[in-house]
Structure 1
Amino acid sequence: MAEQGRWHDMNGNSQLPFICHENQLILIKQNLTWREALRYCKDNHVDLVSVHSEEIQLWVKEVAQNASTEHVWLGLRHTCTLSFWFWMSGVSICYENWAPGNGTGGEDCSPVERTGAVQARGGQQWVSLPEDHKLNFICLTYEG
């Protein structure tokens, strides 16, 4: 960051300090629809969790096993118009952990949109569910 408080590009060989936030996940044991859970996380924390690595998946597994519902909402959504899944955080889906028969892209889009959840127990893989189901959810928060 420049002295004026603005970001700028630098040579990739430069040795500089870095900014790091310790990611924290919090299980919310309220049964909300996916949209309600997203709003809750944005209003009270940062966002619904995005799982973009195996390391984050392991953290999600640890948190999800304490849920009071069979599945737990993630920040994962399907667009029927374009027929693909995406994280609400804007992170690309590179890492995947779908349960068999889920996340194929050919989702049933009627009458409601499909959203992603993780199994609270068992294989703790991702599943596609209608957004109007009421589940526990995991928010991403930052320890300040």
Structure 2
Amino acid sequence: SSLSSLRVTTLLIVFLKVTDTHFKGSLLIFDQCSPAEIPLVLIKQNKTWREALRYCRKNHVDLVSVENETVQNWVEIIAKNASTDNVWVGLRHTCTMGFWFWVSGNSICYQNWAPGNGTGVEDCSKGERTGGVQTGSMKWISLLEYKNLNFICSTN
């Protein structure tokens, strides 16, 4: 066998930079020397879910949609720097239809719910339910949208 047939298909490199209110990072995935960047920004400002959504859409692209394990791993790295116990992500529950969805418009295939969250009937009597990530366990949780939390925006 020849060494020329040996190749590395995936390499993850993380660059992190912290400022007072932003935690920026980039995850580069090299597959046959073609980089694909998945940038996220942790905003260390306390906002309601709707305020966070507006902020991300105005200043970046959107609240992050954690649609696969790769994005979940990146969220786990960046969420450790949050100043709140939970961080907002782009996860929303529709009380009228009874299901969760991503603000990107995609349905939920990959899941990382904390026990007792997201898989049963949601109590919508006190307001709309939205999704956050616990900064300790890194599991997804169902929260009332008016809590004030740090949040993660996608930038592409």
Q: Structure 2 regions of 5+ residues with no counterpart?
A: 1-34
Q: Distance in 2 between matches of 1:96 and 1:108?
A: 20
1:73-122 deviation line (CA, Å, top 9, x unaligned): 0000000000000000012210000000000240010121000000112x
- The structure showing larger relative contact order (alpha-carbon pairs under 8 Å, at least 6 residues apart) is 1
Q: TM-score, normalised by structure 1?
A: 0.82
Name the SS of the counterpart of 2:39 in structure 1.
strand
Q: Does 1:50 align with 2:42?
A: no
Q: Distance in 2 between matches of 1:31 and 1:87?
A: 21
AA partner of residue 57 (structure 2): K
Q: Does 1:64 align with 2:79?
A: yes
Work out whether residues 84 and 105 of structure 1, in 8 Å CA contact, stay in contact via their aligned partners in 2.
no
- Structure 1 residue aligned with 2:138, among 99, 124, 131? 124
Runs of 4+ in structure 1 off by over 6 angstroms are none
Q: Distance in 2 between matches of 1:50 and 1:105?
A: 21
Q: Does 1:84 align with 2:99?
A: yes
- Indicate the residue corresponding to 1:138 in structure 2: 152
| Larger proportion of strand | 2
Q: TM-score, normalised by structure 2?
A: 0.76
Work out whether residues 100 and 107 of structure 2, in 8 Å CA contact, stay in contact via their aligned partners in 1.
no
Residue correspondences, number: 122
Deviation (angstroms), 1:68: 0.1
Q: Distance in 1 between matches of 2:140 and 2:147?
A: 15
Work out whether residues 116 and 128 of structure 1, in 8 Å CA contact, stay in contact via their aligned partners in 2.
yes
Q: Distance in 2 between matches of 1:21 and 1:105?
A: 36
- Indicate the residue corresponding to 2:38 in structure 1: 23
Q: Structure 1 regions of 5+ residues with no counterpart?
A: 1-19
Quote the sequence identity (%).
66
Q: Distance in 1 between matches of 2:60 and 2:154?
A: 7
